[in-house]
Chains A and B, each alone.
Chain A
Amino acid sequence: MEELDTEPPVTVVPGADPARTQLCFEWGGEPRGPSCVFVVRRDQDIYMETLRKLFNESHGIFVGLQRCEEERAVRARNAQLIQVSKNYRSVIRACMEDMHQAAISARDSALHSQYSIQVSILSAMELIWNLCEILFVEAAPAGPLLLRLLDWVQLHICDVDNMVREVLSSENPSKHKLFWNVVDIFVLQGRMDEARHLLSKEAIANPTSMNMYKILDDLMKKMPVPSVGNTQTLTEMELKWQHWHEECQRYLQDGTFASSSHMESICKILLGDENAILEKKELMTTWYHFLVTRLLYSHPTVKPMELRFYAQSSMDMFLGEESSPEPLDTILMAAFEFELHQVIKECSVALSNWWFVAHLTDLLDHCKLLQSHNLYFGSNMREFLLLEYASGLFSHHSLWQLGVDYFDHCPEYGRVYLELHIERIPLNTEQKALKVLRICEQRQMHEQVRSICKIMAMKALRNNRLGSALSWSIRAKDAAFATLISDRFLKDYCERGRFSDLDLIDNLGPSMLLSDRLTFLGKYREFHRLYGEKRFSEAARLLLMLMTAHIAPCSFWMTLLTDALPLLEQKEVRMLNNHADGLSTKGVQFLLVLLF
């Protein structure tokens, strides 16, 4: 679905020489060296194996979402959808963790870097998904919005964790050279308690700054934040915040922190001074961190729709002249601008698999967001992406089974895609064929059932496995083929004097009725069985029935009559004929004389 306006990147195939192909025109000319065939396929093997768990587990979440009863109450429904979103994210994180382990334990460096790349891709996916959850699924309103964004930043900007750990675990944290960096980080991320805790150590170590510390500590303690439990209205909060802001301003202007540049800088940050915040660029590492910090200290009651302005300016200020936005930046920006379609489009281009966009779009569709954004192709887009994703699964020898469920939930084209894909699955083993069949039967895909059974029957017949061929034709309800195979059985019997696959023929049951020839085969075998068990009168009655029912092939009449001969010598059979039921003994003898 990538809408590329530029030429897509070129994949080079080594050895396929365009120059040489141009030379090989003349028919009948000298062969230009070894002829080659190149088999090219999309390399899905590597990521499919590593992301297998992700595919498997997200499949469960997906199916659950499609099938779960929609909660009536809006709040409850919202909670449901948020939970689904969180589930997806935890699956991503689990996969990331596995990948990380794999990277560590990888013995060769190429593999290690492959895994590491996967980890960073997954990390980016989780980052994006998390933001989408906050903005779209939860649709956090002003107030909680900031808190969520703070969580988001804290969770995802992990570059600084090592530094934090190092300082906290040192003997004398306040003497550590990175001490103030860590304090700054805590402030930038709104982690006031942790910042205050560290500052207290500095105050103890440096009693001369005690006064400054007390004031700063107090300011940090008093900073109004949007409350979680809705105990105050936004207006109340804004008012408090205004007063607090003014108090900070006074302390700064009075020169309270003049003797400590670190503390003064913190105070400026508290006041939302953009330059002061930007000085800590290295600690924030990303423009979206900068954005959230800015919001925290200048507009904590920001409304969702106001985000776009802050986002654009934050990115501009942060990146400045030197760098241009990366794909990830573009995606996040689109999210802050609430351009859902743009988010999905950019993700499709940037990510090398459909997993992410398919599942995210499906979730957003369940949130009824695609319609509300007036995308007339909204549901089409969901289906388009799911079809792409599921089609990809079908190229894998076992993940295709997951694809089935995805197709099931694509109302427009799902069924036909499934029909087309499922009949192409290589039927290497009987078990696989049976598995495929079960899926087709469950969905009343009669033509596919018939076709698969026919293919299996044909394969068995070619390999002279008559029993297998017969049972497949029965399953296919293919009367013509069943007749053909029954003929082969009978021919075999004539040649060898015995039946193969007795088990199968003995237990045909009602499927015997599929074709006349098959019925004859089954009954004829039964005749043999009865004869073998010395139940001669029953055998004779059956033989009589076979002769008169006209289901015996012409080629078999001789055999039947010959079979009758020994029976006629049996005492019970002669007695049977006294009841004059059909062909009499004399009649049979007469026929035999005629034939010879």
Chain B
Amino acid sequence: MFVARSIAADHRDLIHDVSFDFHGRRMATCSSDQSVKVWDKSENGDWHCTASWKTHSGSVWRVTWAHPEFGQVLASCSFDRTAAVWEEIVGESNDKLRGQSHWVKRTTLVDSRTSVTDVKFAPKHMGLMLATCSADGVVRIYEAPDVMNLSQWSLQHEISCKLSCSCISWNPSSSRAHSPMIAVGSDDNSPNILAKVQIYEYNENTRKYAKAEALMTVTDPVHDIAFAPNLGRSFHILAVATKDVRIFTLKPLRKELTSSGGLTKFEIHIVAQFDNHNSQVWRVSWNITGTVLASSGDDGCVRLWKANYMDNWKCTGILKGNGSPVNGSSQQGIFNTSLGSANASLQNSLNGSSASRKQS
């Protein structure tokens, strides 16, 4: 059984991204109205907007939370060619009573010369680090060496991907057997058969990120990409949102011990490919344990995918809009499905006006 609640977001334009914080009790939305809103979940389950402010001078494409070990920190990226890092300031008691909080900009990252299409924080074991990617095909990795000083970020790496980038995903694995790894997706739609997913890995010897793999079978524009949480597996799982939903496994082969060595080679398998959306798939998102994948597409549906104990992936749920208007305050509908297992609450947020293209 699913329960859906609608929240009148009050953004004055399209909402491009919704992001839950680590504990699932806070949510951030960003919009073409150039603002970001932060929502807090109260004890009784209602969501209240506790902050709303203008963040950029163009559409805000993505917003993301840092790990709570670093405090209450957000990053946003925009068509205005910048990415920004925000920190919540604990306000005066008046503000607290009114349920409002303030966010201040800690830094603006201005290195990109084109629209910044995605921003993601690195796994916490890497420190306070984030990556951005731009329409000009450059992935930039920044680090704040002093986690208590969020105004100081230094550009550590610039990776040229050659194709315009639309999305990035860090490999969350903190195993010492795995070097830091980032997957980059491209929405380049000029006619070519270049791989639209590239995997970059950090090389301890050269201290640089180098391309480890390109998924040659993905040649259509990629809109979203997501590594699954690692359950102590030796291999990685990557979900790709393109003209369909695809799930790949990347199994590291023995590292070659060459002089410039250290680059891992991977055995790539596609374990699932679903075209049920019958249209472009815009977002993919994993649950906490990496056992359920959610995808959303131009058919206006969100689909949930799960593997059984035999590792066969199947669709286990569909959420679909019914086209009826919403009259403002939160409604609650209860639906019956004959299945619906007691999985960990997949806090899946459906964007009521999702699936817009990041056109310039």
Contact = CB atoms under 8 A, between A and B. Distances in A.
A21 B355 contact: yes
Given A353-B341, A377-B309, A11 B2 contact: yes
Given A416-B231, A424-B24, A391 B289 contact: yes
- Most chain B beta-carbon contacts within 10 A, residue among A26, A27, A31, A42: A42
A137 interface: no
Contact of B335 (A12, A24, A389, A413): A12
- Most chain A beta-carbon contacts within 10 A, residue among B276, B320, B336, B350: B350
B324 interface: yes
- Most chain B beta-carbon contacts within 10 A, residue among A36, A41, A350, A391: A36
Nearest to A19: B323
A7 interface: yes
A11 B321 contact: no
Interface string B31-69: 110000001000000010000000000010000000011
A36 B7 CA distance: 6
Interface string A44-59: 1110100000000000
A413 B231 contact: yes
Contacts of A19: 300, 323
Given A10-B320, A40-B319, A42-B345, A28 B32 contact: yes
Contacts of A391: 289, 291, 342-344
A353 B340 CA distance: 7
Interface string B231-249: 1100000000000000000
Nearest to A2: B339
Interface in A17-40: 17-22, 24-28, 31-32, 34-40
A354 interface: yes
A15 B321 contact: yes
B250 to A, nearest CB: 19
Contacts of B27: 37, 39
B346 A42 contact: yes
Interface string A246-264: 0000000000000000000
Contacts of A39: 4-7, 27, 47, 347, 349-350
B299 interface: yes
B299 to A, nearest CB: 7
B356 A36 contact: no
B308 A3 contact: yes
Contact of A392 (B8, B344, B353): B344
Contacts of A458: 68-71
Given A17-B321, A27-B356, A420-B229, A37 B345 contact: no
Contacts of B190: none
Contact of B356 (A16, A24, A389): A24
A56 to B, nearest CB: 15
Given A16-B352, A21-B321, A425-B23, A352 B1 contact: yes
B164 to A, nearest CB: 16
Interface string A327-369: 0000000000000000000001110111100000000000000
B325 A15 contact: yes
A11 B337 contact: yes
B294 to A, nearest CB: 9
A8 B18 contact: no
A514 B9 CA distance: 47
A484 interface: yes
Contacts of B300: 16-19, 21-22
A384 interface: yes
A36 B90 contact: no
A206 interface: no
Interface stretch (B152-160, B265-273, B326-334): B326-334
Given A36-B352, A42-B346, A462 B4 contact: no
A584 interface: no
Given A1-B308, A12-B320, A37-B18, A424 B349 contact: no
Interface residues of B, number: 94
A421 B71 contact: no
B90 A38 contact: no
Contacts of A35: 8-15, 31, 352-353
Given A17-B321, A21-B355, A25-B355, A40 B350 contact: yes
Contacts of B312: 3
B354 interface: yes
Contacts of B359: 27
Contacts of A62: none
A141 B103 CA distance: 72
Interface string A429-465: 0000000000000000000000100110011001110
A42 B355 CA distance: 23
Interface string B249-279: 0000000000000000000000000001000
B330 to A, nearest CB: 9
B186 interface: no
Contact of A42 (B2, B72, B288, B353): B2
Nearest to B68: A455
A200 interface: no
Contacts of B198: none
Interface string A509-541: 000000000000000000000000000000000
A43 B334 contact: yes
A519 B340 CA distance: 55
A4 interface: yes
Nearest to B350: A38
Contact of A352 (B8, B15, B229, B340): B340
A43 B343 CA distance: 10
Contacts of A455: 68-69
Contact of A420 (B288, B316, B331): B288
Nearest to B360: A27
B343 A454 contact: no
Contact of B318 (A7, A37, A48, A381): A7
Contacts of B338: 9, 349-350, 352
B344 A37 contact: no
Given A11-B320, A15-B326, A32-B353, A37 B15 contact: yes
Contacts of B355: 21-22, 24-25
Contacts of B232: 413, 416
A21 B356 CA distance: 8
16 contacts: A9-B339, A10-B319, A11-B318, A13-B4, A13-B322, A15-B322, A16-B300, A16-B352, A35-B8, A37-B350, A38-B4, A39-B350, A40-B3, A42-B340, A42-B345, A395-B344
Interface of A: 1-4, 7-22, 24-28, 31-32, 34-46, 48, 348-350, 352-355, 377, 380-381, 384, 388-389, 391-395, 413, 416-417, 420-421, 424-427, 451, 454-455, 458-459, 462-464, 484
Interface of B: 1-15, 18, 22-25, 27, 29, 31-32, 39, 47, 59, 68-72, 88, 90, 124, 148, 229, 231-232, 276, 288-289, 291, 298-302, 308-310, 312, 314-326, 328, 331, 333-359
Given A8-B316, A18-B321, 19 more contacts: A4-B316, A7-B318, A12-B333, A14-B322, A16-B300, A16-B319, A17-B300, A17-B325, A20-B353, A22-B355, A36-B326, A37-B39, A37-B351, A39-B4, A40-B348, A42-B2, A43-B334, A46-B1, A413-B231
